[in-house]
Chain A
Amino acid sequence: MWADIVLSFRQELIVTGIIFLLLFIKIGSTDRGSGVVLRLVNLLLLVNLVLGFFPGPDAILFSGMFHTNRLVVLEKNMLNLATLIISLQGYEWLRGHRQVFEFYMLLLATLLGFFFMISAGNLLMFYLGLELSAIPLAALASFDLEKRRSSEAAMKFILSSAFSSGLLLFGISLLYGATGTLDFGAIASRLDGTAFQLFAFVLVLSGFGFKVSAVPFHFWTADVYEGSPVTVTSYLSVVSKGGVFFVFVVTLYTVFAPMAGSWYRILVLLSVLTMVTGNLFALRQDNLKRLLAFSSIAQSGFILAGITGSSRGGEASVVYFILVYIFSNLGAFGVVSFVSARTGRESIQDYKGLYATNRWLSWVIAISLFSLAGIPPTAGFFGKFFLLMAGAGKGNYVFIVIAALNMVISLYYYLRVIKAIFMDSQPEPIGKLKIPLMSNIAFLVCVVGIIMTGLVGEIYEYIYSLSKGV
């Protein structure tokens, strides 16, 4: 019996193990070189990733608190992969940082939180996981200890995070009041769509809205993204968002399945608002981190569009898109992070003439941006295509027209960056940067991921075979 539990629990256990290992090393000696630690953590994350490819049997543990199945294992593995890529990309920045141990302990604690959250079969467990991830994230946001903007970002994050948790908790308590249970399956069987339950749903939705930065709950996003260290920003935009979206889909498709008719309209509205607002704000940004922040808001809108499909294809397309999004966004953020760590330059003007000095970096960011814009043959094209196809499943074509036009708007600001890199020049271009091996591996993984995830149809088909829909 213990063997079963350990097997289904494996990913969480390994991450917990790494955290404790770091803790012991930290306590044991203080003069250990940070390079060794970085390599060790990356290696262990890689081990976890590889083991994740061999999922154990489906299981429900701890009287319904903890669910695991192949899709859940895959989702966790995706988050693990993203964390590994971020860790590789942050190698440069971290090596110079004094608190490497603390950074990883916090980072992995959030990852552990997301793992528990994804596996949750009970609102209590879900909330526990969410908070386990939210509080260390705030600490991470302020990790550029000497920078004021970083502290400011952390403050904004913790306040908005606390507020959204409050809303979520209120919603959960109302749900408990309405149904008398916290178990996902049991709630679903006792919901009938009364106004009271709808109110509870709206509160829960608002809580989620904050976490995935859907409009009108997006105000914290750009400031926090800009202020935090770029490594943390990439983590926020990819792992945090991805994890919450996974749970969001489960919550909507199982817990609130009886109210599908009601939430469909709310979600369509939310999706349109999110993509339009994100895109329109992104048009005017000059700081690349802010631009990517608003672009990630717009991407959330597209993911919401896929969720509205509430079909098997809808669930698969969301999971698939997040995989694509991991590669694309981390490719773009990785380059921005690297250039920022080396030169401190982050605006579009600074990137003028980058191609003349840094060809490989330019292509990495270009391919990533094409993928974010949804241009074939990159995976982003397939991701957006499937999301909108799923969204169109209900026959709401006005919605799809708006979404398709948003793709055009978003192309403009991505192309602005491309134009600066490839076509413009400036008196003081960014000099030739030597890319360390670790970052190069991360970039290569992103580029290969962007190209292969789309063209290899089996990846989507595999995700589809694991999805269930409503």
Chain B
Amino acid sequence: MNLSLLIIMPLITALAVVFCRTMGGIRWVSLAGVSVQLLLSFGLLALYWRERAAGNGAAMLFEYSHAWLPSWNIRYHVGVDGISVAMILLTAVVMEAAILVSWSIKPMGKEYFILLHFLSAGAYGFFLSLDLFTVFFFLEVSVIPKFMLIGIWGSGRNHYSAMKLALMLMGGSALVFVGLVGLYYSVGGLHGFDWVAIGQMHLPAEVQRRFFPFLFLGFGIFTALFPFHTWVPDGHSSAPTAVSMFLAGVSMKLGGYGCLRVAVFLMPVAAKEYSPVIILLATIAILYGAFATMMQSDLKYINAYSSVSHCGFILLGIGMLTRTAITGAVMQMISHGLMTALFFAAIGMIYDRTHTRLVGQLGGLLKVMPFISTVFVFAGLCSLGLPGLSGFVAEITVFMGSWQRAGELYRLATILACASIVVTAVYILRATGQTIMGPVKVASYNGLGDATWNERLAGVLLGACIIAIGVAPFWLSDLLEPGVRAIMDHAGNAFGIK
């Protein structure tokens, strides 16, 4: 399969949107475009399985490589393994849902959809890239669309949030840049930025020690690494619904993916040495995020802070460096992506109708909008880790993997992370209970309608994926297994952990 199709498709859709005359045309063209992407990604999954079933054991499948800038040894190099296939599926699903809930966006609908498609093209490109130059390229591509989407169509203090997000993410990519340049010159420039080629060699420990912090911190900012998480609550709560979904669902995962695939994979020795720091920061993020959520009264802030907490699990899993924990971390990326997108979608639907997101002003929504309320509760239950839904599967894998790492610090971190679930349960149950149960607080709410067909479709799509992972997690873990094994194999004895 020609993987570049996945990058080109959103761009073609964006181009088609440029030539649309009516708002209806723009919507349908966008929907058609993302649906083709969704089909392509499921097709990719099927092809990937077929290759693997046929015994193709190559690390990367469907590779395509083209010399782009030979004097710097920069190549356009794409390819996928299980982890990238999973991330691409996530992107396609979230994007489909995001377009569906953007049905009534105004003003400047055309620009909105074009920027959204650019955003997704960046995410696809990032997950497909096997050359660190294009990794960096696609990482930065997404910064400006985010800024514009939040700044123009957002609400609240959106200008401030947009600026904060753009600058912090740019800071993250500046660090990534320094790390990549360091990597480039430490391998003599001969291998250029080729992830595969650099991955086959063992970098000297000295180099790893020096450049690991740049790469991990840089990517970490994208995934709300404490104390650089402050863009998350502001950015997510100011953004329009679809952008919140994409930001929390996909964009934050760019960071986790980069931490794992670039920093930890290429520099296992340094990963081992820095892992106490990573774990400390991740644990702080988990606890701080959870307790900060308790204090929030705005539904979007609740989900945004809980994202900080949940993304802490990703970093915790990566930092623990055991096979199970890393698998769990990737599962958490997928699970959290779906769950948080669904949560933001439900919040957006509620807000569109009631024009408030404050928990105290809502109540009894189950009576007026049963479908939306159900989706809302469903997302909440996934967030607090109800068995049968994806959140449970991912988190328990992270915890089990974390427990395999011996040592007081790691044990303590695991226990604290587990304990945070209780806090999660408190804020989720409180928020959902006050919002949908009880009497209808404002009389005018009684006349509000339930979800429209497009909103229902978005909810069902995301919900189905959550259940699919929750009930049958093995297909996902099987998908991720070769990628995780490659990381463990490359590390060899460097991790020093079974």
Contact = CB atoms under 8 A, between A and B. Distances in A.
Q: Do A and B bind each other?
A: yes
Contacts of B137: 376-377, 381
A349 to B, nearest CB: 15
B49 interface: no
Interface in B325-375: none
Given A415-B166, A457-B68, A464-B71, A407 B181 contact: no
Contact of B72 (A386, A407, A422, A423): A386
B152 A404 contact: no
Interface stretch (B138-146, B253-261, B307-315, B434-442): B138-146
B171 A423 contact: no
Contact of B174 (A370, A376, A397, A404): A404
Nearest to A382: B69
A401 interface: yes
B57 interface: no
B141 A376 contact: yes
B378 interface: no
Interface string B128-160: 000001000110110110011001100000010
Contacts of B133: 385
A6 interface: no
A370 B141 CA distance: 11
Nearest to A390: B72
B185 interface: yes
Contact of B185 (A393, A408, A419): A393
B70 interface: yes
B170 A408 contact: yes
Interface in A410-439: 411-412, 415, 418-419, 422-424
B60 interface: no
Contacts of A377: 137, 141
A375 interface: yes
A245 interface: no
B177 interface: yes
A375 B144 CA distance: 8
Nearest to B211: A397
B178 interface: yes
A315 to B, nearest CB: 12
A412 B167 contact: yes
Contact of B69 (A376, A392, A407, A460): A460
A59 interface: no
Contacts of A423: 151-152, 159, 162
Contacts of A457: 68-70, 74
Contacts, number: 82
A405 B162 CA distance: 19
Contact of A313 (B72, B175, B181): B72
B182 interface: yes
Given A381-B140, A407-B170, A408-B171, A461 B69 contact: yes
Nearest to A423: B151
Nearest to B181: A392
Contacts of B175: 404
A287 to B, nearest CB: 21
Contact of A422 (B69, B70, B152, B174): B152
Residue picked from B140, B181, B184, most chain A C-beta under 10 Å: B181
B468 interface: no
13 contacts: A393-B185, A397-B178, A397-B210, A400-B181, A401-B178, A408-B171, A415-B147, A419-B159, A422-B151, A423-B162, A457-B69, A461-B69, A464-B71
Contacts of A293: none
A257 to B, nearest CB: 21
Interface in B177-209: 177-178, 181-182, 184-185
Interface string B42-85: 00000000000000000000000000111110100000000000
A422 B144 CA distance: 13
Contact of A411 (B170, B178, B184): B170
Nearest to B154: A423
Contacts of A117: none
B422 to A, nearest CB: 39
B154 to A, nearest CB: 9
B163 interface: yes
Interface string A302-321: 00000000000100100000
A405 B171 contact: yes
Interface in A357-399: 370, 375-377, 381, 385-386, 388-389, 392-393, 395, 397
Nearest to B70: A461
Contacts of A316: 71
Contacts of A381: 137, 140
Residue picked from B69, B72, B148, B163, most chain A C-beta under 10 Å: B72
Nearest to A384: B177
Contact of A389 (B70, B72, B141, B167): B72
Given A415-B166, A415-B167, 14 more contacts: A313-B71, A370-B144, A375-B140, A377-B141, A385-B133, A392-B181, A400-B178, A404-B175, A405-B174, A408-B167, A411-B170, A415-B147, A423-B151, A464-B71
A357 to B, nearest CB: 13
Q: 7 tightest A-B contacts by CB?
A: A404-B174, A464-B71, A423-B151, A457-B69, A457-B68, A392-B181, A408-B170
B207 to A, nearest CB: 11
Contact of A395 (B71, B140, B167, B185): B185
Interface in A65-106: none
Contacts of A405: 171, 174
A72 B465 CA distance: 60
B166 A392 contact: no
Residue picked from A386, A395, A400, A457, most chain B C-beta under 10 Å: A457
B183 to A, nearest CB: 11
Nearest to B176: A404
